[in-house]
A and B are shown apart, each in its own frame.
Chain A
């Protein structure tokens, strides 16, 4: 393991017309961390995540993954770099024309590296990793419940053995029970596979249970980047509202943090 951070954002600025979303934003995520990105609605959390994925480009500033610029190098290098992270989109983004198994196999088949027998074993393995039964491989995404869609999408994100996992609102739309078990699942995968995880959330329960560090996005930049205990000490109106509000306090108490 070398010192280069897995994700490194420097001097990010994002503008949509006259609307400035980010300005001089810096963030470094070290290997093995679980970083939660929190912020109010419209503060640009998801936009920042999309910068990291490479779906959008910031107006200025640099995005570096695994110590290399996101857009550096020829096409093949860039594509190889993109295979090093897996993304769980907010609504799963499973290909609705393919079954769950085919969804998981899709990136492997694109890479053309595994034999059919290996692909089948890998599908079964990834399904087991996200605590789904092998029989679920033949279901179509439209036949899955909300929680299952997230699990299946997570299995697909894990298909190419990513080193970095990017999660957009992983627990949004799940009931508290499912949400808690999904958080537990991510935590155990993190332990098993030694992943680095960046997640966007506004659920205090999720980040209290999961995050090793919290990046608070407010006033167009990261105002605090620290473990939970230290974040709570920061005197910023958004942080006070977010964690010290009625809902936040209850969630923290549930997780034994306040």
Chain B
């Protein structure tokens, strides 16, 4: 089958006087693919009552046959002169042609109501699942308190490394840049009023209490939350989670709990680290802009920012970490075995985690409004 041997270009010769159509060349997908436009035009121009003929030695595949069948208007022409093999190919096409049912894709009022109901039921299922997982974590902790030898320490430490240590460079970079920008923009304004030294207050309160924890949460939700969902999701696709259950091992104890604990532990530390780097970035900018010395910055910070703010920041970090990990695991365990579901759940995990973090942050802001704010 050399390239030179095959692919004689398909051709149509119409003799309008005798009302005959002669097809020559190969009527295969490959031979047709270059000249399909002309062939279509020629086929459309053939008179209705013409007699068709085709050399039995020419090749005809199911694409060519479908092309002819469509040109004939899904019925045999009155006069056809073709080889036995070619007739068989076209017979196969005609046997199944037009039998494909149309996809039920119309969207009506009923569908809208159904969709609304389905969305509500899905939300309910999510809420129930989430609460169940939440409770499961505490039951597992109670179980571990009674059986201290079953602590999944190896998994916890592996997760700590993954979500904590490996996240340090990126959180530091983002924290530093945010600190620089915040400090630069603030100092421009403060210079106008000659209130230069308040830069320490702004940076200290803003970063330690608010910006640090939220910034780290957003980064961690995107980085570690999505990874957790995807990991659990793939384990679900490959039936690894079922294998665990079949061995009588609790999937929450081995897979969910280590992730949740590790992130709850790692987040306050990441918050501390990121806030420090952000403050440093803020100082760098203040030093350039306002000529503020590092000694002064470090000395003033504890006097203008009450220590309670640090604890609020760390507490928020732990709470956010717990939430992010729990949400990530919740969505990971809901993945069904196909790629669509995996991507949808990973997206939902990250979006829900960030939304929840902001919501809970607002709750924190209200609950701690009387603590640590100098008046």
Contact = CB atoms under 8 A, between A and B. Distances in A.
Interface residues of A, number: 43
Interface string B48-71: 000000000000011100110110
Given A66-B1, A67-B2, A122-B66, A141 B101 contact: no
B76 to A, nearest CB: 15
Interface in A111-132: 111, 113-115, 117-118, 120-129
Given A101-B100, A192-B92, 18 more contacts: A1-B5, A4-B2, A68-B3, A96-B338, A97-B339, A97-B340, A111-B33, A113-B36, A113-B63, A114-B67, A117-B70, A125-B93, A134-B96, A137-B100, A141-B338, A142-B337, A161-B28, A161-B29
A84 B96 contact: no
Most buried by A among B28, B67, B96, B337: B96
Given A111-B33, A128-B92, A128-B95, A2 B2 contact: yes
Nearest to B71: A118
Contacts of A246: none
Contacts of A83: 30
A232 interface: no
A121 B29 contact: no
Contacts of B28: 161
A248 B267 CA distance: 59
9 contacts: A1-B1, A2-B1, A2-B5, A4-B2, A66-B1, A67-B3, A113-B36, A124-B99, A124-B100
B161 interface: no
Interface in B66-105: 66-67, 69-70, 92-93, 95-101, 103-104
A13 interface: no
A118 B66 contact: yes
Contact of A124 (B70, B97, B103): B97
B338 to A, nearest CB: 4
B339 A160 contact: no
Interface residues of B, number: 33
Contacts of A4: 1-2
Contacts of B70: 115, 117-118, 121
Contacts of A117: 70
B67 A135 contact: no
Contact of B338 (A66, A97, A126, A161): A97
Interface in A193-247: 193
Interface of A: 1-2, 4, 6, 31, 66-68, 80, 83-84, 96-97, 99, 101, 111, 113-115, 117-118, 120-129, 134-135, 137-138, 140-142, 160-161, 163, 192-193
A66 B2 contact: yes
Nearest to A123: B100
A128 B36 CA distance: 25
Given A4-B2, A66-B2, A96-B339, A125 B97 contact: yes
B30 A121 contact: no
Contact of A113 (B32, B104, B338): B32
User: Which 6 A-B pairs rank lowest in CB-CB distance, beginning with the nearest?
Assistant: A96-B338, A128-B96, A124-B96, A121-B97, A161-B29, A124-B100
A229 B1 CA distance: 28
A121 B33 contact: no
Contacts of A2: 1-2, 5
A161 B61 contact: yes
Given A118-B70, A121-B69, A161-B63, A137 B101 contact: yes
B18 to A, nearest CB: 29
B191 interface: no
Given A118-B67, A122-B63, A140-B338, A160 B97 contact: no
